[in-house]
A and B are shown apart, each in its own frame.
Chain A
C-alpha cells in the first residue's frame, strides 16, 4: 500500500522524518552506560571489534603519545574510547593517511572514521554521520603578527596557505577575487599536503597566514609560543562528525547514546579541557544520513 503510492512520497516522508530528527532534542533521557546490555541494545555490532580510522598526525584531535608512540592521544581518540567503553564494544584504531580514511569506511574496510571530518550532504550519500563538534577556523601567523592580519579581509595582497582541497583553500580563492573587485591586490596562495608542512611555510617566512581548524591552530600556538600566534578566528557552521558505514543503525545509535552520556556526565567537558578545545564548540549530537 505504502509502496504503491510511489517512491516520491516515500522519499519525501523520509526527508520529513530526517528533518524532525535533526530538529528534535536528542532522546537522551534514557541514555545510560550499560556495557552489559550490549547484546540487546546493539545486537548487530555486539562482540565485534570495531575499526576506527584516524591519521595520528593532527593534534589536538589524533596524534601519537610522545611517551609511547604506540598510543594514540587526542580529543577524537579519547572520545572514541569513552563512547565505546560506555556501549561495551571493543575498538581498534587503524592509522592511515587522512585522505584514505573515508574511502575505507565506504568500502567496508573500516567501520568508521573519527578524525575531524566535516559532514556534508555529498559525503552523506556514501556514509552516515553523528555530529559532535562545530567547526571553527583559525589563522596561524608568525610571532608578533608582522603583517597585521586580524581578519579575513586583511589577507588581500598577502601570501596565504591552506591544505590542498580544503574548504579553507576554496575560501581563499573566493576572497582573492573579491579583493580584486574591491581594487585591492590578489592573494598569492600556496597549498600544503600535510599540516606540519603548512606550519613550516609560516615558520620559514614563505607564507604570511595559514588557515585551518581553530583547535589545531591553538595547539600549534600553545606548543610553539615563540614562533606562532593566532591572527584571528571564525566560527563556521560546518559540523564535525563521526562518519560510519552507511545503514549501520546500531553503530549510529551506540555513537549517539555514548556521546550523549559523555556530555551529561561532564566527561566530555573534561576531555575538551584536557586538549584545550573550547567547550562552547561542542554541539548537539544528531544522526545525519543524508
Chain B
C-alpha cells in the first residue's frame, strides 16, 4: 500500500514536516479496500472516517464513560478534599492513604483488578460499570487534590466572616468558599476531563471498545493508519475543544475580575446557571435608585437623613435604647491561651444595653481575641460570657463550659453583627448580595424582602450607587461601610467592631466613623476595638484599657483618656497621640 511506502520517504523529515507531508502522501495513495464503486480520494476517505458511525460510537462511549466517571469522581473528590482538611487525624489520614494509593498505582492495573480480580469474590461487574467505576475512583484521588488546592486558595477571612453571621460549614462551603475556589479548580479539572476522554482507550483491556481501540481495529485490517488515526484525532479534537470551550465559559462565569454588569450584555447570560447548586446567585437586576423606598442618599454619610432604619433593625422587643442599667454582655473571669501563650488572663467586664464601649490597648493585649469570644468565633478556656443572660454556643456541664454541637445555629440565634479590620466582604458577591447573604441563607428571609432591606441599609451608609459593584471595585472606606451594612442586615442586638479603621487610608477613616457614630446615636449596643482616640472621646460611653490580657483601667472617656491613672495607659496614649498629631 502506498501510504506506507510513501511514508518511508518522509521518515527522515522532522515531525512538523511529516504532518505537512501527510496531505501530499495521502493524496497519492490508492484506497485498497473500496471494492465497490469508484475508489474514494484520500481526503474523501479521511472525511468519511470522521463521520464513520463505527468510530463515532466509540467516541460517544468515551464521552459517556468520562461524563459519568467525572460526576462520580468530583463528588468523591470533594468528600476526600474535605476529609483531607479535617481536624480529625484519622479522617485526614484515611483520605491521604486513599489518594496516595490510587494516584500511586497504574490505572490499567486498577481496571484489570476491578474487572478480573473481583469475580472470584462474587462481585462481577460488566465492562461499562467497571470502566465508569474505575475511572471515577481514580479521578476522585486527583480531583480531591485539585479541589483542596482551590479551597485553601480562598482567604480564611471569608469563612470567618461567614461564621460570624451564623452560616454553617456546609453553607459556607457551598455559598462562599467553592464559588471562589472555582477559579483555581477549573483549569485543573478541565485537564482531568480531557485526559480522561483520551485515557478511556486504556480500558480496551477490559473490552471497552472506544475510539482509539476501534481505530486500531480498522487500521489492523486496512493499514491506513494515517487516514484513520488522523480522522480519530480530529474526532478527539472536536470533543476536547468542546471541553476547552466549556472551561473558558465557566472561568468567565467565576472570574470576579470581570464586571458582571458588562458581562451580562455580552452573550454570557445563559451561563447564569447554578453549577452543582453552589454557584453565586444570578446577578441581581440592576438596582434602580428611584425604586428604593428610602430617599436616595448621596455618597456622603452625613447626608443620610433618617435614623428610622436603625430603630427598625434593632430588636424591637428589647427595652428602649438608653436604658443603660441593664447588663447586656457579661464577661466573668475569662481566660484564653493559644498553646502556651496566655492571651486573656481573667477578664471581668460588663457592657450594658445601648452602651458603646471602646476597648483600647497595645497590640497583643488580647482585645481582638476578647471580641471573638463574644460571638464564639473562638472558644474560651475558662470563665464565662453571657449575652442577654445566655451563653453563645456553650453548655455548662460539671462546672465546665462545653461548646454545643450546632455552633452555627447558636451564633445565628445570638444575632451579633461583626465588622472586621480587613472588611472580609465576600469577594465574589456584589455589595447588595453581600448584605442579603445572611438574611436569605441563614434567617430564611424572602429574597425580595431582604433586597429591600439591603437597599435601605446601603442607602443609609451612602452606597446606593454602588449596590451592584463587586467589593474589589470599591475603596476601602466603601468596603467597610458595606461590611457595616452587611452586619446590620441580621438585625443585630450587639455590634462588634474589630479595628474597623486600621486598614484604611487616613482620608477614608472619617466616612466609616461617621456611620458608626450614627449607629451609636441610634442606641445600638456596641463593643469597638480601635485606636481612634477622638472617636472614643466623642462617642464612647465607656473606655476600657487592656494590656497583657488584663483590663488595666476603665471609666468614662474623660476619666480614662483625660486623666489616665495607670502608667501603661499614659504611655500608650502618648504614643497614639504622637502618631495622630502630624496628620
Look across to chain B and name the residue whose beta carbon is closest to the beta carbon of A57.
B220
Q: Which residues of chain B have C-beta atoms less than 8 A from A63's C-beta?
A: 217, 220-221
State which of B33, B120, B206, B219 has its C-beta within 8 Å of the C-beta of A57.
B219
- 15 more contacts with CB within 8 A, not counting A107-B116, A107-B117, A204-B4, are A57-B216, A63-B217, A64-B54, A64-B221, A66-B221, A69-B214, A96-B205, A96-B207, A99-B205, A103-B112, A107-B115, A200-B225, A206-B11, A223-B1, A223-B32
Is B244 in the interface zone, CB < 8 Å from A? no
Q: Complex formed: what's the CA distance from A226 to B32 in Å?
A: 12
* Cβ–Cβ contact B217 & A57, under 8 A: yes
Interface string of A182-211 (1 = CB under 8 A from B): 000000000000111001100111100000
* Cβ–Cβ contact A100 & B207, under 8 A: yes
* Cβ–Cβ contact A204 & B205, under 8 A: no
Q: Which 5 A-B pairs have the closest CB atoms?
A: A57-B220, A100-B205, A96-B207, A69-B54, A107-B116
Is B75 in the interface zone, CB < 8 Å from A? no
Q: Which residues of chain A have C-beta atoms less than 8 A from B221's C-beta?
A: 57, 59, 63-64, 66
* Cβ–Cβ contact A223 & B223, under 8 A: yes
11 pairs across A/B with beta carbons < 8 Å? Answer: A57-B216, A64-B54, A67-B35, A96-B213, A106-B116, A194-B220, A199-B4, A206-B11, A223-B223, A224-B4, A227-B5
Chain B at the A interface: SS class: helix
Q: How many of chain A's residues touch chain B, expressed as a range? A: 35 or more
* Cβ–Cβ contact B220 & A226, under 8 A: no
CB distance from B110 to the nearest CB of A (A): 13
* Cβ–Cβ contact B4 & A100, under 8 A: no
Look across to chain B and name the residue whose beta carbon is closest to the beta carbon of A195.
B220
Is A276 in the interface zone, CB < 8 Å from B? no
Q: Which residues of chain A have C-beta atoms less than 8 A from B304's C-beta?
A: none
Look across to chain B and name the residue whose beta carbon is closest to the beta carbon of A94.
B207
* Cβ–Cβ contact A97 & B220, under 8 A: no
CB distance from A98 to the nearest CB of B (A): 9
Q: Complex formed: what's the CA distance from A124 to B117 in Å?
A: 18
Q: A109-B124, A199-B223, A204-B7 are in contact. Are A100 and B218 (CB under 8 A)?
A: no
Is A179 in the interface zone, CB < 8 Å from B? no
Q: Which residues of chain B have C-beta atoms less than 8 A from A59's C-beta?
A: 220-221
* Cβ–Cβ contact A104 & B219, under 8 A: no
* Cβ–Cβ contact A96 & B220, under 8 A: no
CB distance from B31 to the nearest CB of A (A): 10
CB distance from A146 to the nearest CB of B (A): 12
CB distance from A66 to the nearest CB of B (A): 4
Q: Which residues of chain A have C-beta atoms less than 8 A from B227's C-beta?
A: none
Q: Which residues between 53 and 67 of chain A lie within 8 Å of chain B, taking CB atoms?
A: 53, 55-59, 63-64, 66-67
Q: Which residues of chain B have C-beta atoms less than 8 A from A223's C-beta?
A: 1, 32, 223
Q: Complex formed: what's the CA distance from A94 to B213 in Å?
A: 13
Is A108 in the interface zone, CB < 8 Å from B? yes
Is A3 in the interface zone, CB < 8 Å from B? no
Interface string of A75-96 (1 = CB under 8 A from B): 0000000000000000000111
Interface size on B, residues (CB 8 A): 38
Look across to chain B and name the residue whose beta carbon is closest to the beta carbon of A205.
B8
Is A5 in the interface zone, CB < 8 Å from B? no
* Cβ–Cβ contact B119 & A107, under 8 A: yes
Q: Which residues between 59 and 90 of chain B lie within 8 Å of chain A, taking CB atoms?
A: none
Q: Which residues of chain A have C-beta atoms less than 8 A from B1's C-beta?
A: 223-224, 226-227
Look across to chain A and name the residue whose beta carbon is closest to the beta carbon of B218.
A64
Q: Which residues of chain B have C-beta atoms less than 8 A from A196's C-beta?
A: 216, 219-220, 223, 225
Is A48 in the interface zone, CB < 8 Å from B? no
* Cβ–Cβ contact A100 & B225, under 8 A: no
Look across to chain A and name the residue whose beta carbon is closest to the beta carbon of B52.
A69
Q: A104-B207, A196-B225 are in contact. Are A203 and B4 (CB under 8 A)?
A: yes
Q: Complex formed: what's the CA distance from A69 to B220 in Å?
A: 12
Q: Which residues of chain B have C-beta atoms less than 8 A from A226's C-beta?
A: 1-2, 5
Q: Which residues of chain A have C-beta atoms less than 8 A from B5's C-beta?
A: 203, 226-227
Is B204 in the interface zone, CB < 8 Å from A? yes
CB distance from A65 to the nearest CB of B (A): 8
Q: Which residues of chain A have C-beta atoms less than 8 A from B209's C-beta?
A: 95-96
Q: Which residues of chain B have C-beta atoms less than 8 A from A194's C-beta?
A: 216, 220
* Cβ–Cβ contact A200 & B4, under 8 A: yes
Scoring B8, B208, B209 by chain A CB atoms within 10 A of each residue's CB, the highest score goes to B8
Q: Which residues of chain A have C-beta atoms less than 8 A from B44's C-beta?
A: none
Q: Complex formed: what's the CA distance from A220 to B116 in Å?
A: 33
* Cβ–Cβ contact B54 & A70, under 8 A: yes
Q: Complex formed: what's the CA distance from A201 to B217 in Å?
A: 18
Q: Which residues between 271 and 305 of chain B lie within 8 Å of chain A, taking CB atoms?
A: none
Interface string of A18-48 (1 = CB under 8 A from B): 0000000000000000000000000000000
Is B222 in the interface zone, CB < 8 Å from A? yes
* Cβ–Cβ contact A69 & B7, under 8 A: no
Q: Which residues between 152 and 171 of chain B lie within 8 Å of chain A, taking CB atoms?
A: none
Look across to chain B and name the residue whose beta carbon is closest to the beta carbon of A53.
B207
Q: Complex formed: what's the CA distance from A189 to B284 in Å?
A: 68
Q: A63-B217, A64-B217 are in contact. Are A108 and B124 (CB under 8 A)?
A: yes
Q: Which residues of chain A have C-beta atoms less than 8 A from B36's C-beta?
A: 67
Q: Which residues between 114 and 140 of chain B lie within 8 Å of chain A, taking CB atoms?
A: 115-117, 119-120, 124, 127
CB distance from A89 to the nearest CB of B (A): 20
CB distance from B437 to the nearest CB of A (A): 53
Q: Which residues of chain B have C-beta atoms less than 8 A from A106's C-beta?
A: 116
Q: Which residues between 177 and 217 of chain B lie within 8 Å of chain A, taking CB atoms?
A: 204-209, 213-214, 216-217
Q: Which residues of chain B have C-beta atoms less than 8 A from A109's C-beta?
A: 115-116, 119, 124, 207
* Cβ–Cβ contact B204 & A97, under 8 A: yes
Q: Complex formed: what's the CA distance from A108 to B1 in Å?
A: 41
Q: Which residues of chain B have C-beta atoms less than 8 A from A200's C-beta?
A: 4, 7, 225
Q: Complex formed: what's the CA distance from A203 to B7 in Å?
A: 8
Scoring A55, A108, A227 by chain B CB atoms within 10 A of each residue's CB, the highest score goes to A227
Q: Which residues of chain B have C-beta atoms less than 8 A from A205's C-beta?
A: 8, 11
Interface string of B420-461 (1 = CB under 8 A from A): 000000000000000000000000000000000000000000
CB distance from A42 to the nearest CB of B (A): 23
Interface string of A218-259 (1 = CB under 8 A from B): 001001101100000000000000000000000000000000
Q: Which residues between 93 and 133 of chain A lie within 8 Å of chain B, taking CB atoms?
A: 94-97, 99-100, 103-104, 106-110
* Cβ–Cβ contact A100 & B220, under 8 A: no
Q: Complex formed: what's the CA distance from A37 to B32 in Å?
A: 45
State which of A56, A67, A97, A103 has its C-beta within 8 Å of the C-beta of B116.
A103
Look across to chain A and name the residue whose beta carbon is closest to the beta carbon of B115.
A109
Q: A66-B33, A70-B54, A224-B223 are in contact. Are A95 and B8 (CB under 8 A)?
A: no
